[in-house]
Structure 1
C-alpha cells in the first residue's frame, strides 16, 4: 500500500507536468528588493545583517494565487511555510497561508512512505525541525507550488511536499519582523535524511543538480538566479571540484590559509562526528561564516599577525570582535582567506571577509564578518563569504564545483 502511494504521487506529478521540462530557473533577491520601503537607507553592515539583507529569498505561490517569499537555505533539508493558527509565530505581511482556502492542499498520511515518522498529529504526518535558537513543527502536506521564473511564464510543481508550520517559537527573520515582514518560511534545498526533500520529489526537473551565484552584499539591487537541471551551465575549465556528502552537503575541509600561509589546523575540527555533530557545510541561510572556536581563534590570530604592523585597532562592534580603524592605511596586499577542501581551494578576498561597520556618526571600523561557534556545532561557510562564486551541486556525482564569477542576473 505504501509503495503504491509513492508511485501514485510520483506518476501524478509526471502526468501533470510537461515531459520536455528538464530545467528550472528561479529568481533570487535580497529582502530589500521585495519592498524598498521596508528597509531604511544607508544601513551599516551590522544593520544589514539584522535586516537579513545579506541573505537571499525567492518568490513562489502556494496553491492557486497566494504570493509567498521564502528564505533560500542550502543548510536546511525541508521547505515550510507558516500556516493559519500557528502558535508562537512571527508576523507576516498579508497573514499566513490558510490551507482551508486551498482546493489542492492535502495532508500527508502518517503511514505514507514519504513521512519521516518524526511526529504524529492524529492520522497525519508531522514534522519537527530544530535550529540553533529556535524550532518549527507542524503538518507535512502536499500542495501545488507555482515558481516565479526568470524566463517565460511561472512554472507549477504539483504535489510538492511542504511543511505547514503550526508552531515556530524563536523563529525570526531579522528587523521588521512584524506585520510588514514579507518572509513566510524557508525553502530548504539540502537532502538530509528526508525522502520528501525538494531535490528528491522534483528529480524529474532538477536532474539531481542545482547552481547559484550570490552577489556581494554591497553590489546594489542585482538579480541572481537559482538554476536546476538542464538550466545549469557546463563547468568551465577553471572550475574546481570537491567531493560532497549528499546527506547534508558536508565537505571535506582539510585546512585554512591566511595570506597564503597554512594554519595547519587539526582536520578533526571539520569532520562529522559519530553522533552527527560537527562537520563543514555551505549554508546560504546563514550570513557570516561560523567556525568552531579553535579554528576561529587561529584564523583571527593569523589575520592580526598579518595586519598588526599596518593597522590601528578599531572599536569592536557586536557581534564582531576583530575590528580596525577606518580608513585603512595603504597596504601592499590585504590578506585573503583560503579554505582547503579535498582537491579544491576556495580563496576569499579581504573585502568578502571584512566589511566597514558604522560605529557612530563620522566613525567607522572595518570588522571581520565571522563568528566563533561552539566546538560541537557545524562549521558554516555563510552567504557573505560565498559572494561572487558560482557553486554547482551535482548530487548524482556527489560533487561540489565552484569558480569565480561576477554574479549579475545569471
Structure 2
C-alpha cells in the first residue's frame, strides 16, 4: 500500500490448459485474518501494534500508487502482526503442502517460497519443496505464460531454458524465482492442475509469516483468470472481524453463488494503465444521513487519459484512503456530528489519524453513521466498528478513545481498504463488469 486481488482450459488465449478434478459449481477457499492464525503475544499493547500495522499499511499503499505501474503487490512488515492482511489456505503440489497465501486483489502472480532457497524470510509452516512434488513442472522461457510476465527472464539456456520471474515492491522487498506449473488443492477435495505459479528462490523484505501470495487481480496469470474457464470470471470474499480469534467467519469463493437481495452493485471500471486493479465509480459520502459537500467530484474520479486518480477496492490495504479534499470534507462533517453528540475531540493526532475522540462513556455505536455512495445508486452503509476504531495511546481511560479510521491520499489513487470491507460480502463480477457489496455477508 502507499500509505488492503484472476486455471483451467484456456486462460486467455495465451495460457495453457489446466484441469480440475470433477469441479463443483464453486471453488471455496478458507480465509483467515493474520491475528487469528498468529495472535499477538499477551504482553503486546494495542497502541504499539496499531502503529506497527499502520506503518506496514503505508508501505502497501505506496506500492499501489507507484508511478511506474509495476508495483501492484502487497508489502508486509518484517515482524508478525504488523499489518492487517488476510490469508487463504491452499495446498500446493503432489503430495500437497499446505500454504497460507496472502489474498491480494492488487496483483496477479501466485507465488510461494520454495526450497532449496538462496534467501528466504521466516514463514509459518513448511516451505514448499518442488523436488517432492510429482506434478511440478518448469515453464519454458518461450511459453505464453512467460511472455505474460511484466519482467520475464530466462535461464542461461536462452529461450530454450526455463522461465524466471521477478517482482519488486515499493520498500525494496522482492521475490525472484522459477515460473512453473503445479496442482493447487482447495476445500472439499477439489484440485486444479497446471496452475501457473512462481517458485520463489530469493525472497527479501517484509513478507513475514506468509508462505507467499495469491494474486487475484485482473491480469492474465492471476488465479481468478486461470480458473475462469471452469468457474466463470467472478469471485467473492467476506473478510471477518479482524479482532476475532475465530477462523470460520471469512471465505474466498471462485464461481457464481446465489445473489443476496441485499447486494448493492456498482459498475466495475478499467484502467488500461493499471489493468490489474478493480476500480469503482465512487460518488461521495454521507454522514449522519446528510450528503457530504465541500470537495470536488473530480477528486475521486479516474482520468482514463492519464490513468491517474480513481478509487480501487483492495484486499491488501487495511485503512481506506481518499483524495485529500474529499477526506477533509468527510472528516469535518463527522467532527461536527461527533461534537454535537458530546464527543470530545482529542488534541493532536494519533499516528496517521487526525480525528480522535474521548467518548466519555458513550458507546462506540453512537458514532455518526457513515455511508459510501457509488454510481448507479449503490450504497455501502458502514457499521461503526468499520470506521470508528479503538485506540490505546497509553493514556488513562484509553479504552474510551476512538479515531475516525480513514486517511488522506496525496498520490491521486483512493483505496477502499479491508477494514471498511470487513463483514461485507464483496463480489468481483468481471463477467458482468460490476462489483457488489452485501452487509453481514460472512454469515450468509
User: TM-score, normalised to structure 1's length?
Assistant: 0.83
SS in 2 for 1:308: helix
2:288 is the counterpart of 1:289: no
Change (3 A) 1:141 1:328: farther
* 1:252, distance to aligned residue in structure 2 (A): 0.9
2:386 alignment partner in structure 1? 352
Deviates more, 1:50-59 or 1:83-92: 83-92
SS in 2 for 1:210: strand
Change (3 A) 1:297 1:10: same
Match of 1:382 among 417, 425, 431: 417
Q: Provide structure 2 residue ranges, at least 5 long, that are not aligned to the other structure.
A: 1-8, 54-80, 156-160
Match of 1:144 among 183, 200, 211: 183
Aligned residues: 386
SS in 1 for 2:298: helix
1:61 alignment partner in structure 2? 91
2:257 is the counterpart of 1:244: no
2:30 is the counterpart of 1:27: yes
2:147 is the counterpart of 1:111: no
Kindly indicate whether the alpha-carbon contact (under 8 Å) linking 2:343 and 2:359 is maintained by their aligned counterparts in 1.
no
1:321 alignment partner in structure 2? 354
Change (3 A) 1:404 1:166: same
Change (3 A) 1:7 1:279: closer
Kindly indicate whether the alpha-carbon contact (under 8 Å) linking 1:143 and 1:161 is maintained by their aligned counterparts in 2.
yes
SS in 1 for 2:217: coil
Kindly indicate whether the alpha-carbon contact (under 8 Å) linking 1:306 and 1:335 is maintained by their aligned counterparts in 2.
yes
Kindly indicate whether the alpha-carbon contact (under 8 Å) linking 1:390 and 1:405 is maintained by their aligned counterparts in 2.
yes
Question: Structure 1 CA distance, aligned partners of 2:10 and 2:315?
Answer: 36
2:442 alignment partner in structure 1? 407
2:21 alignment partner in structure 1? 17
Question: Structure 2 CA distance, aligned partners of 1:298 and 1:126?
Answer: 47
2:398 is the counterpart of 1:366: no
Structure number with the higher strand fraction is 1
Question: Structure 2 CA distance, aligned partners of 1:243 and 1:222?
Answer: 32
Q: Provide structure 1 residue ranges, at least 5 long, that are not aligned to the other structure.
A: none
Kindly indicate whether the alpha-carbon contact (under 8 Å) linking 1:145 and 1:156 is maintained by their aligned counterparts in 2.
yes
SS in 2 for 1:263: coil
2:78 alignment partner in structure 1? none
Deviates more, 1:326-335 or 1:259-268: 326-335
* 1:124, distance to aligned residue in structure 2 (A): 3.4
Match of 2:214 among 174, 178, 187: 187
1:306 alignment partner in structure 2? 337
Change (3 A) 1:351 1:91: same
SS in 1 for 2:316: coil
Question: Structure 1 CA distance, aligned partners of 2:13 and 2:335?
Answer: 58
2:253 is the counterpart of 1:253: no
2:42 alignment partner in structure 1? 40
* 1:361, distance to aligned residue in structure 2 (A): 6.1
1:216 alignment partner in structure 2? 241
* 1:35, distance to aligned residue in structure 2 (A): 4.8
1:337 alignment partner in structure 2? 370
* 1:264, distance to aligned residue in structure 2 (A): 5.1
Match of 1:227 among 241, 253, 271: 253
| Mapping of residues 68-79 of structure 1, within 5 Å | 68-79=99-110
Could you say what the CA RMSD is over the residues aligned between the two structures, in angstroms? 3.1
User: TM-score, normalised to structure 2's length?
Assistant: 0.77
Query: 1:287-343: CA deviations, max 9, x gaps?
Result: 111223232222222222222342222364323232112445479953222222111
Kindly indicate whether the alpha-carbon contact (under 8 Å) linking 2:180 and 2:198 is maintained by their aligned counterparts in 1.
yes
SS in 2 for 1:144: strand
Query: 1:92-117: CA deviations, max 9, x gaps?
Result: 13463333333322222232222224
SS in 1 for 2:442: coil
